């Protein structure tokens, strides 16, 4: 494997109980409070599974925008919904089982026809999704293009 093209570090500090402060590597990024849902935490912020869902949905939406841009189609107002299924594994441990991402790029019929080529390749550009697909099923639908 080749040398890393980029690298970053974040830090995570416990605030109290199951609440943590995630400090990003860029000062303008600020911090993100995370917390588990009751009964463990108090929902003071998104839990790690929700952060994972946000990362997947955001990366896929941005990748679709990138691929469409390469086709000369500039997307604006892209919306993504992410549904996450949590199930117990064979050891009865909670795991992210499946993620369904529905992206609505707000395409007209003419734009949808132009975006078909981008649809075929955009998922491959998504760093986050392609990195986790070996362990988590990720299904993607694009409104206006997929049936």
CATH pick for 48-142 out of 3.30.300.20, 3.40.50.11750, 1.20.1560.10, 3.40.50.1950: 3.30.300.20
Q: Per-residue DSSP letters for 25-81? A: SSGGG-EEEE-PPTTTS--SS--HHHHHHHHHHHHHHHHHHHHHHHTT----S-EEE
Query: What does DSSP assign to residue 4?
Result: P
Average confidence score pLDDT of the chain = 94
Residue 101: count other Cβ atoms within 10 Å of its Cβ.
24
| Calpha distance 147→143 (Å, rounded) | 8
- The per-residue pLDDT for range 120-136, each reduced to its tens digit, is 999 999 999 999 998 89
- Judged against a pLDDT cut of 90, whether residue 1 lies above it is answered with no
Q: Say if residue 26's pLDDT is above 80.
A: yes
How many Å apart are CA 81 and CA 113, to the nearest integer? 22
62-92 pLDDT, tens per residue?
999 999 999 999 999 999 999 999 999 999 9
* Omega prior to 73 cis, within 30 of 0: no
Average pLDDT over every residue of 83-112: 96
Domain regions of the chain by residue span? 1-46, 48-142
Which of 113, 138, 111 shows the shortest CA–CA distance to 127?
A: 138
């Amino acid at each position: 494997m080749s040398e890393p093209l980029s690298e970053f570090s974040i830090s995570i500090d416990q605030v109290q109980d199951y609440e943590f402060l995630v400090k990003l590597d860029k000062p303008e990024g600020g911090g993100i409070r995370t917390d588990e849902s009751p009964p463990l935490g108090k929902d003071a912020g998104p839990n790690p599974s929700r952060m994972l869902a946000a990362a997947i949905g955001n990366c896929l939406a941005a990748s679709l925008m990138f691929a469409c841009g390469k086709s000369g189609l500039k997307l604006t107002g892209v919306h993504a919904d992410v549904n996450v299924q949590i199930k117990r594994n064979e050891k009865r441990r909670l795991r992210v089982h499946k993620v369904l991402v529905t992206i609505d790029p707000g395409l007209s019929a003419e734009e949808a026809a132009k975006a078909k080529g981008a649809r075929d390749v955009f998922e491959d550009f998504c760093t986050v999704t392609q990195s986790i697909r070996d362990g988590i099923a990720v299904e993607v639908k694009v409104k206006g293009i997929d049936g």
